[in-house]
Structure 1
Amino acid sequence: MNNRTIEITSRFEKSWNDTEKIFDMFLENGFERLIPVREFISELKKKGENQHFRIGTSLYPLIFSRSVEYGLRDDQKQLIIDTLDKNDYEIIFKDGFKKYRKYRISDLNDNRLTKLLKTLKGTLVD
C-alpha cells in the first residue's frame, strides 16, 4: 500500500470509530430505535467496509461517502440512512441537491441498500 492509500484508509477507519461512539452514546441515552443501525455499522465493519467509506452522522442519520475530508461538498455522492422509527428507514443516495434514489425499507439487510453501497464504493475517493 502506498502512503496515500494508508492515509485515506486511516481516515476512513477513524470516522467509523468516532461514529460508533456517537451511536453508543445515543443508545446509552434511550434511543433504542437506533439499535439496528448500530448493529449494521458493526456488521459492515466486520466485513472491512470501514476501509472503503467515511461515515458520520447528521444528528441521527448515518451518512456514507468516499470523502477523505470531514464534511461533504455539494458534488460528492453520499448515501444517507435516516431512522424514522424502529425498523423504518428512509434511504437516500444523492449528491448535492440531485437525488438518484429515495425509498423506505424496514430491514437494513435490504438488497437495494447493499447495491447502493456497492455503487458508492465504485466511485472515486476524493
Structure 2
Amino acid sequence: MDSRTKEIIFRFEKSWNDTEKIFDMLLENGFERLKPVREFITELKKKEENHNFRIGTSMYRLIFSRSIEHGLRDDQKLLIIDTLDKNDYEVILRDGFKKYRKYRVNDLNDPKLTKLLETLKGTLID
C-alpha cells in the first residue's frame, strides 16, 4: 500500500472514530432514536467501510463522502441519512445542491441505502 493510500485510510478512519464519539455523546444525552444509526456505523466499520468513506455529522445527521479533507465543497457528492424518528430515515444522495436520489426508509439495512453507498463508493476520492 502506498503512502497516499495509507494517509487517505488514516483520515477516513479518524472521521469514523470522531463520529462514533459524537453519536455516543448524543445517545448519552437522550437521543435514543439515534441508536440504530450508531449500530449501523458499527456494522459498516466491521465491513471495513471506514476505509472507503469519510463520515461526519451535521447535528444528528450522518453524512458519507469520499472527501479527503474535513468539510465538503459544493461540487462533492455526499450521502445524508437524516433520522426523522426511530426507524424513520430520509436518505439523500447529493452532488452539491443537486439531489440525485431521495428515499424514506425504516431500516438502515434497506437495499436502496446499500445501493446508494455502493454508488458513492464508486466515485473518485477527492
Counterpart CA distance in 2 for 1:65 and 1:11 is 12
- Residue number in structure 1 paired with 2:47: 47
Q: Distance in 1 between matches of 2:52 and 2:103?
A: 24
Superposed displacement of residue 96, structure 1: 1.1
Q: How many residue pairs align between the two structures?
A: 126
- TM (norm. structure 2) is 0.99
**1:25 to partner: Cα distance:** 0.1
Unaligned runs of 5+ residues in structure 2 are none
Which 4+ stretches in 1 moved above 3 angstroms? none
Residue by residue over 1:70-113, the C-alpha shift from the partner in whole angstroms, topping out at 9 and shown as x without a partner, is 00001100000000000000000001110000110000000000
1:108-123 equivalent positions in 2, closer than 5 A = 108-123=108-123
Identity of counterpart residues, as a percentage? 80
Deviation track 1:33-86 (CA, whole Å, cap 9, x = no partner) reads: 000000000000000000000000000100000000000001100000000000
Q: Secondary structure at the match of 2:74?
A: coil
CA RMSD of aligned residues (A): 0.3
Report 1:53-92 matches (<5 A). Answer: 53-92=53-92
- Distance in 1 (CA, whole Å) between partners of 2:117 and 2:88 is 18
TM-score (norm: length of structure 1): 0.99
Counterpart CA distance in 2 for 1:115 and 1:101 is 11
